[in-house]
Amino acid sequence: MEGIDHLAPERSKSQFDVDEMKIVWAGSPHAFEVSDRMSRLVASDPAFRKDNRPMLGRKELFKNTMRKAAYAWKRIIELRLTEEEASMLRSFVDEPAFTDLHWGMFIPAIKGQGTEEQQKQWLPLAQKMQIIGCYAQTELGHGSNVQGLETTATFDPKTDEFVIHSPTLTSSKWWPGGLGKIATHGAVYARLLTDGRDYGVHGFIVQLRSLDDHLPLPGITIGDIGMKFGNGAYNTMDNGVLQFDHVRIPRNQMLMRVSQVTREGKYVQSSVPRQLVYGTMVYVRQTIVSDASIALSRAVCIATRYSCVRRQFGGKKGGLETQVLDYKTQQARLFPLLASAYAFRFVGEWLKWLYMDVMKRLQAGDFSTLPEAHACTAGLKSLTTSVTADGIEECRKLCGGHGYLCSSGLPELFAVYVPTCTYEGDNVVLMLQVARHLMKTIAKLGSGKRPVGTTAYMGRVELLMQYQSNVQKAEDWLKPNFVLEAFEARAARKSVDCAKNLAKFSNPEEGFLELSAELVEAAVAHCQLIVVSKLCFRFIEKLQQDIPGKGVKQQLENLCIVYALNLLRKYLGDFLSTGCINAEQASLAGEQLRSLYSQLRPNAVALVDAFNYTDHYLGSVLGRYDGNVYPKLYEEAWKDPLNDSVVPDGFQEYVRPMLKQQLRNARL
């Protein structure tokens, strides 16, 4: 059976050029070439094996992660990989590790918040991994409310030092990845106390462990916070706890790009505008949106391939049973997720552009688009990670019982992914920030100030309040304008509704708390509109400029409309109750959606092949490229340590006495 492509009949049905689609998915021929090369490099190296991960105990698991991280670094140096290649290689190793926080948070914190001098001092050490950093912000008692952090950094003018201290149990740093066992340094966030005042939370570089024997420095208590959800999964990461007992650091280890403490202990703002720091946040969130598309596409790839292999019912006269992907219910659950994976990929690309635009403007002293960009990235982080976490779980269910096996790859993917909904901003808290921005935008409408960027549609609020869809037949829903207008009207009406209700409160903050559930709904509607508009217009516009490759454009157009119409059906209550569309138009959307599912069906496997994932990266017996699922599932089962012996350890002591009615004499 080896060497046979069981999915070949599916691949031969496809109506588009998969190789061209691979390039569209990757972003460019260059991006495709690098990611293809790096993924093969990792897949072909047995040192990066990961199939045994769910069975390893914590210590062994963690030791393995240290080995892989060191080996990956060695390969990066030996092969003289560029930054882009190195970061791709790390992502294909596909194992959360202390290095993620070092590269992803510690180094960006220094770059974003450190002065030039500090960058010169710390970045070369960090970039050569002579020091390993973590990002220590969250505490046992406070996470989302950063201003509530309790760790203190008190300036001592006598010695020109800050004294870092954890005054309470709840001020213990709690959660930072890499902190528990590895980090030598941390970007530590603490309340700055100087000159008799509390200046709020600021960042400091603090050495945590000795660079000789790796022991915590005096006054520092440090450890791992314990096992987390799932087997393998995020347990490869040493999320840590940290307490300071009057630990002294030199004054120049405060991250001083936007504010400084002088030798005399005076707090001064630097000439660098505070807003520049937010640029880093926009960058980090943009990566999270791109990563959401990766995680969702992995799950969708597994579920799609397996749904073509799996057959249930309908075999007539001993013939083959029906492939489960041919069931309309399977399609209606899976294809919107396939469409979302593509949608988030393109929105991630757009966010890259937005980040560069914001940075260009900030450097030119133009801060006008920053609040909007900030709200937009916060909302898209929240939206895409929530959909992805739920989507991975849906893919597990789409694979029936076998999806629950660790060898399907889905339980671990889910367990690794779900905390994304919490870190880098809890998703609900982020949506509330978006809602605040929307309410401010509406409040300013009367002043003649035109809303910008993704809130520009609010400038047409009066028209949108009157809007009624003109869709008359199912095919009308294929026209981007019809889709976009319905989403704009729904989003505007939900926000205006909230604004009207808020106005009834004499205390706006009380009103905000009371209406927060509705405000989150309005923010979600706004964020869904952003995705739809970026797809319907920007992306389809790009498509009009001729995407090479037979049939590629058609597939992408279908996916865009599936994404939007599925949302419209899912949130039908919103669209109907706000009067943007009527019941007949809703039914036509359903009809169009079913027709698009039928068009996607023959292309489904090719559309997931376009992600170009190696079997190593997918890590799933169900999602194997060759579809050879059953023999491999059978093989995997025998690898379980329980199958090392025929009679399990413990049988003689515990089960045999039960069987022989001798429990009374057994030593239990």
Ligand X SMILES: Cc1cc2nc3c(=O)[nH]c(=O)nc-3n(C[C@H](O)[C@H](O)[C@H](O)COP(=O)(O)OP(=O)(O)OC[C@H]3O[C@@H](n4cnc5c(N)ncnc54)[C@H](O)[C@@H]3O)c2cc1C
Per CB under 6 A, residues contacting ligand X are 101, 135-138, 143-144, 175-177, 234, 239, 419, 422-423, 426, 428-429, 432, 516
CB 180 within 8 A of CB 240: yes
Distance CA 553, CA 110 (A): 42
- Pick the closer one to ligand X by CB: 414 or 487: 414
Phi then psi dihedrals of residue 271, to 5 deg:
-75, -10
Question: Nearest approach, Cβ of 435 to ligand X (angstroms)?
Answer: 10
Question: Nearest approach, Cβ of 585 to ligand X (angstroms)?
Answer: 35
Cβ neighbours of residue 197 closer than 8 Å, sequence gap 6 or more:
267
Q: What share of the chain is helix, strand, coil (3-state, %, to 5)?
A: 60, 10, 30
- Pick the closer one to ligand X by CB: 69 or 600: 69
- Pick the closer one to ligand X by CB: 203 or 403: 203
Provide the β-strand partners of residue 203.
189
Half-sphere exposure of 15 (CA within 13 A, CB side): 12
**Is-catalytic flag, 424?**
yes
232 known ligand binder:
no
Question: Nearest approach, Cβ of 517 to ligand X (angstroms)?
Answer: 9
Distance CA 489, CA 141 (A): 41
Distance CA 388, CA 134 (A): 26
Residue 126's alpha-carbon distances to 33, 92, 580, in angstroms, are: 28, 22, 54
How many residues does the structure list for the chain? Answer: 668
Q: Which residue is nearest to ligand X (CB)?
A: 143
Taking alpha carbons only, the member of 397, 387, 376, 396 closest to residue 421 is 387
Question: Nearest approach, Cβ of 90 to ligand X (angstroms)?
Answer: 16
- Pick the closer one to ligand X by CB: 216 or 459: 216
- Pick the closer one to ligand X by CB: 24 or 237: 237
Determine which helix (DSSP H) or strand (DSSP E) holds 247, and give its type and residue range.
Answer: strand 247-250
Task: Please give, one letter per residue, the 3-state secondary structure of 374-430.
Answer: HHHHHHHHHHHHHHHHHHHHHHHHHCHHHHHCHHHCHHHHHHHHHHHHCCCCCHHHH
Question: Nearest approach, Cβ of 432 to ligand X (angstroms)?
Answer: 6
Taking alpha carbons only, the member of 449, 480, 446, 447 closest to residue 462 is 446
- Pick the closer one to ligand X by CB: 61 or 610: 61
Provide the β-strand partners of residue 244.
220
Question: Nearest approach, Cβ of 306 to ligand X (angstroms)?
Answer: 28
Phi then psi dihedrals of residue 375, to 5 deg:
-65, -40
Distance CA 166, CA 321 (A): 64
Q: Provide the 3-class DSSP secondary structure of residue 165.
A: strand
Distance CA 94, CA 615 (A): 12
138 known ligand binder:
yes
Task: Out of 95, 412, 424, 521, pick the active-site residue.
Answer: 424
Q: What is the CA radius of gyration of the chain?
A: 27
Tokens of 255: 């991250």
Distance CA 104, CA 514 (A): 37
- Pick the closer one to ligand X by CB: 299 or 418: 418
Question: Nearest approach, Cβ of 180 to ligand X (angstroms)?
Answer: 10
Dmax of the chain from CA atoms?
A: 92
CB 614 within 8 A of CB 41: no
- Pick the closer one to ligand X by CB: 201 or 341: 201
- Pick the closer one to ligand X by CB: 176 or 336: 176
Amino acid at 509: E
Provide the β-strand partners of residue 467.
none
Question: Nearest approach, Cβ of 208 to ligand X (angstroms)?
Answer: 13
Distance CA 182, CA 278 (A): 28
Question: Nearest approach, Cβ of 165 to ligand X (angstroms)?
Answer: 18
Residues of each annotated binding site for FAD:
138, 177
Residues of each annotated binding site:
138, 177
Active site residues: 424
